[in-house]
Amino acid sequence: MASEAERATATDDPVAYFLQDLTYHGKTERTREAYERVLRDFETFVRGESTTLEAVSQRECMSWVHTLREGRSASTVASYASYLHRFYAYMTQVGAFEGNPMTLVLEEMDESIDTDPARREIMLPAMREFVASVTHPLDKAVVVTLLKTGVRVGEICNLDLRDVHLDDPEIDDTYDSQHRGAIDGRPDSVYVASDPTRGEETNGERREESNKRKRATVVPVDEELKRVLKRWLAVRPAARSSAEPLFCSTREWGRRLTAGMVGQRVTTYAEDHGWYRPGGGAEENVTPHYFRHFFTTHLRDRTGDRGVVKYLRGDVASDIIDTYTHNWGDKVRETYERHIYSLL
């Protein structure tokens, strides 16, 4: 918690205070510049609304996000909104601000992204046929992981062996059970971190992709996903990186997968299936992000529990996500295992 003197400094120029702390936390100059550009733009907007960064409301944040949409892609708008959310989350954590007006804004954005009425809708039998057409062990493992966990493409690329805990003696013998402590008591699970950032080092490796998760999440692994992961691990090439990525290329032997690699492979299968047309747009084409949409809509319909689904997606606020983290076995795994769809 910040001292009285620190709080006074923080409220004099909150953006400068936040950027200084980013420096202390080892963020790159490029990252700091990106944050400063977005936050100063928001600061200018706030002044035009005759208020301050500390006193701004959820409604004013929503209005600012709306101004971003003209001439910018949805992913860029989401990135800028996440910068502002992290700024407010940090200022609230250190006691400089009383609350984070961006929490509900981001939750509403997440809802709108996955309820697009124009987006292609694929029923479960058709998705099973698609999965059956994916025969390469790496491609199969990636596609099933995306469909069974709802992770983003960057997040699947950032998974390391330490992020997976599979309860299987053959896997334990091969990989020495060197998983994270956070999943030590949670067999058959995947840990999706929130910290990997493009251009910055995580687990001893400079990353090419970023995770966009608000908080780290532990996602259950069912028998089907466990089966395809085990098959992949049996043929996985030796990784180039000491971080031991879970998914590495068999074309660029041992290199960690990138979002581009995953997108290219999914596009190939989707084109063969009639689910991708160049220039078709997000409402028509099946891409890695579509699998997150599929996971969200199908699991939400099956469970009727929006809280569990939002936890699995990594979208919920701290107080809610803590509830599911502390009651993971009862509230998450049990619900997930009872309702997750079969793909194989």
Mean pLDDT per segment of 10 residues, for the chain of length 344 residues? Answer: 47 85 81 90 92 89 89 76 86 84 73 53 91 96 96 94 90 70 89 91 92 86 95 93 94 94 94 88 84 86 76 66 56 85 92
- Which two tokens mark 152? 């983003």
Looking at residue 8, what is its pLDDT? 43
Q: Which two tokens stand for residue 29?
A: 């100059």
Token digits of residue 238: 């030796």
Res 239: pLDDT: 93
Sign of the alpha-carbon torsion through 87, 90, 94, 98: positive
pLDDT for the residue numbered 3: 47
Domain annotation for the chain: domains and CATH numbers: 4-113 (1.10.150.130), 124-339 (1.10.443.10)
Instruction: State residue 302's pLDDT score.
Output: 81
Task: Work out the widest C-alpha separation in the chain, in whole angstroms.
Answer: 64
Q: What pLDDT sits at residue 119?
A: 65
Per-residue pLDDT, 322: 59
Question: How far is the first Cα of the chain from the last one, in angstroms, to the nearest whole number?
Answer: 50
Sign of CA dihedral 41, 45, 47, 53: negative
In sequence order, the β-bridge partners of residue 202 are: 205
One-character DSSP codes across 44-104: HHHHHTT--TTT--HHHHHHHHHHHTTTS-HHHHHHHHHHHHHHHHHHHHTTSSS--THHH
Q: What is the pLDDT of residue 113?
A: 46
Alpha-carbon separation of residue 31 from 103, 227, 291 (angstroms):
22, 39, 29
Distances (CA, A) of 283 to 231, 257, 271, 290, 299: 33, 26, 15, 9, 20
What distance in Å separates the CA atoms of residue 156 and residue 295, rounded to the nearest whole number? Answer: 15
